[in-house]
Amino acid sequence: MDHHIIYHDQNNDTPIWRYMDMSKFAFLVCQKKLWFSRADLLGDDHEGSLPDSTVRYRESKWPDKDMRDRFERGSKEGRKHVFVNCWTSQDPESLAMWKIYTPNATGVAIRSTVGRLASCFPRIANDLFERSKARIERVNYDIDFDSHEVIEDEFDRFI
C-alpha cells in the first residue's frame, strides 16, 4: 500500500509515547486509526496562541483595530480546522502525563518512534492528507512569550 510522507525534521529513531484512556486505545486497536482532536477542543485556551512579541509586532504593522480584530477572529476560527494527535518524547514514567491523559488511572501508554509514526498513514482516495499540510512537529512550551523572536509572517500557530 502506498503511504503518505509526513514531514518532520526529527531523528526517525526518536522514541515517542502516546498516553490514552481505554476508549481511545480500543479505537486504535479495533479501527487501526489514531484519534485526532480539533485544536480548539484541547482544553487549553492558550494552545496555539501567539507570543506577545508577535501580537505587538502586528499591532505596530496594522494599527487599524478592525484589521487586528479580523486577524484575531481568523486565528480563533482557524483552530477549528487544525487536528492534532499528541505524543511526547519525555520520560515515559511521567506522573503528570498519566494524570492528564488517563484521569481515572484506566489508560495505557504506547511507544513508537517518530519515523514509524511518520510512515503509518496509508493513502486513501479523497483523504484529508491530500488537502492539508500534515506534519510532525515538536512543541516548545518553554518559550518566553514576551521576548520570543518575531517571525514576520508567523500566521500558523501550530508550526
Q: 59-85, pLDDT tens digit by residue?
A: 777 777 777 676 666 567 777 878 888
By percentage, how much of the chain surpasses pLDDT 90?
A: 14
Indicate whether 19 pLDDT > 70: yes
Distance, CA of 80 to CA of 135 (rounded, Å): 17
Indicate whether 152 pLDDT > 60: no
- Residue extents of the structural domains in the chain: 1-36+85-142, 43-83
Per-residue model confidence (pLDDT) at position 113: 95
Distance, CA of 104 to CA of 50 (rounded, Å): 33
Per-residue model confidence (pLDDT) at position 53: 74
Indicate whether 51 pLDDT > 90: no
Q: Please give the angle made by the CA atoms of 125, 126 and 128, to the nearest 5 degrees.
A: 120
Residue 24: enclosing H or E segment and its boundaries?
helix 22-31
Better-predicted residue by pLDDT, 156 or 25: 25
